[in-house]
Structure 1
């Protein structure tokens, strides 16, 4: 009896501590995705009807939530102009609480008007819509507010929460997802939004999610043990969206800026969530003089961990970009001294 109780305790502990999409490896989301694409021309004027169309033919909450998430990420565009307008005004009124409150109230109405009329929004609109549709499907889901960190954000101005995402409860356990970053990216030539669904932001592993998401309320890290401090978050490497397609965690270096001596190795270690070939791992190293692409000799993959060692032979300041094939994964800076 004691062994049985201990087993149940350990099962619950592990079950609650490793929330990620691999928990649902036994489920195919193909049907949910097909349904989401089938109703791509639906509007947001009748949310209960939309939810019924998306979920009524599916058997599990995981599939139903997938159909909702996939539909939103495939039909609601990210409005960069609206985001920039909000950022400017929040910065403008940051020392005037009354004006800032008035702007936030006004902006909230603008956001939801654009969402309803044009299916275009920013992160708060995405997170709100995911929560509302999930709740209509009797799936517990919450909006999470905090800080999001990307390569385009000026860290010097990151003095207040700037991002929103979701947690969803499936089979008694909370999972993380980010519909804004899952939906797509700006076109590099036109800077206009283009849909490009990123699987990695659906039921993400909390370890990699914490590198560029810092919730205001600590429990929503969904991490075991100690959670990252805000300084840890600000000092961390830049992790790009493509990292979520390959990796479940990032171990070394823990900081964006690193200092080593000449002829000293620097190590890069990340935890894999899918197979990667050693030959596909490459580094782009930039200095003030040149940029070069190299395929490191010391690359090893063992126990679902990718490890890269690289030795700098010359002093200087370098930007180091980690790639898998042509996919940009992470960026670091390295100062090499004598």
Structure 2
């Protein structure tokens, strides 16, 4: 009996670890995507009807969820000014639980009114809408609250949860997705939002997802317990951009964003790729505060979909270092080089 129980736990663990989009490589999501595109002008006045229109012609739960997810990503704009307003108020009331709760209740009303009327929202609205449309299609979907890190996140003040995303249960496994970051790019200066769908956030690899998502509820790491990072490690991790989810399966090294080395020392970089590439497709960008330039790594090794390279820093100074694959920005690190 004990061995049977242990085997069951192992199978559950393996199912959780392997939960990512490659489980559905046998499916073609073109039909689901085309349905979502055809319903582009639909409003949010009748969510059960919208859910039905998106899913009734599809056979599998994965395709049904894909149609719902794609519609949300392609039709709901990210309202960055609303996000900033909420963030300011939450920081203002973070030491007063009564005022914080009152603000959250008030803001939730504003948030959902704007979502339903203008199809504009922030992460909470994306996650809420995705869950509701999935619920109407009898799909098990949950909202995950936690911390998210992007290039504009101030980790020095990141003491309150600032992001929401979703998990969905398909064929008995839970999968991660982030409709907010998949939908496009908000301009923090003009507040103009550009729809640019990023498929990398759909049923994402939990190990890559963990670099810039930190759930409050540990169930939603979908990782082995030994692989779950501390909050401090999460805050110190490199910055990943949306393009990382297009090109990377895993980000292995470096595990921290900031590095302090001596002149002529090297920094090692290791990644697992989604697709094969050539050495010429990999470049590093540098910014020392006075000038910017791109260069090839000092040495590079590609074995199938495994990418490893190192770069030697021969000049002292402080460098912002950016990884580019096919001229698309993947990640950022800093290197402080001393004598």
Measured in 1, the distance between the counterparts of 2:99 and 2:123 equals 22
Measured in 2, the distance between the counterparts of 1:225 and 1:26 equals 30
The 3-state SS of whatever aligns with 2:224 is: coil
| Cross-structure match for 1:301 | 302
Contact 2:79–2:186 (Cα < 8 Å) also in 1: no
Deviates more, 1:199-208 or 1:188-197: 188-197
Q: For residues 1-338 of structure 1, what are the structure 2 equivalents within 5 Å?
A: 13-187=13-187, 190-226=190-226, 227-338=228-339
Measured in 2, the distance between the counterparts of 1:12 and 1:110 equals 40
RMSD: 1.9
Measured in 1, the distance between the counterparts of 2:40 and 2:86 equals 28
Structure 1, unmatched stretches of 5+, are: none
Deviates more, 1:27-36 or 1:280-289: 280-289
Measured in 1, the distance between the counterparts of 2:122 and 2:187 equals 17
Measured in 1, the distance between the counterparts of 2:308 and 2:258 equals 19
Measured in 1, the distance between the counterparts of 2:159 and 2:294 equals 36
The 3-state SS of whatever aligns with 2:70 is: helix
Alpha-carbon distance change, 219 to 192 in structure 1, aligned in 2, over 3 angstroms: same
Describe the superposition over 1:211-239 as per-residue Cα deviations: whole angstroms up to 9, x where unpaired: 00000011211012321100010000001
TM-score by length of 1: 0.95
Deviates more, 1:186-195 or 1:151-160: 186-195
Describe the superposition over 1:136-165 as per-residue Cα deviations: whole angstroms up to 9, x where unpaired: 111100000000000011111111100000
Contact 2:262–2:338 (Cα < 8 Å) also in 1: yes
Describe the superposition over 1:213-268 as per-residue Cα deviations: whole angstroms up to 9, x where unpaired: 00001121101232110001000000111100011211111101112221112111
Deviates more, 1:163-172 or 1:297-306: 297-306
Aligned residues, how many?
335
> Structure 1 residue 13: deviation in Å?
4.8
Deviates more, 1:65-74 or 1:97-106: 97-106
Alpha-carbon distance change, 189 to 96 in structure 1, aligned in 2, over 3 angstroms: closer
> Structure 1 residue 14: deviation in Å?
3.2
Alpha-carbon distance change, 148 to 155 in structure 1, aligned in 2, over 3 angstroms: same
> Structure 1 residue 286: deviation in Å?
1.2
Describe the superposition over 1:6-37 as per-residue Cα deviations: whole angstroms up to 9, x where unpaired: 99987665333211101100000000000000
> Structure 1 residue 289: deviation in Å?
3.0
Alpha-carbon distance change, 145 to 13 in structure 1, aligned in 2, over 3 angstroms: closer
TM-score by length of 2: 0.94
Describe the superposition over 1:255-305 as per-residue Cα deviations: whole angstroms up to 9, x where unpaired: 011122211121111111222222111011111332211022411112422
Deviates more, 1:321-330 or 1:291-300: 291-300
Measured in 2, the distance between the counterparts of 1:55 and 1:207 equals 30
Structure 2, unmatched stretches of 5+, are: none
Contact 2:276–2:304 (Cα < 8 Å) also in 1: no
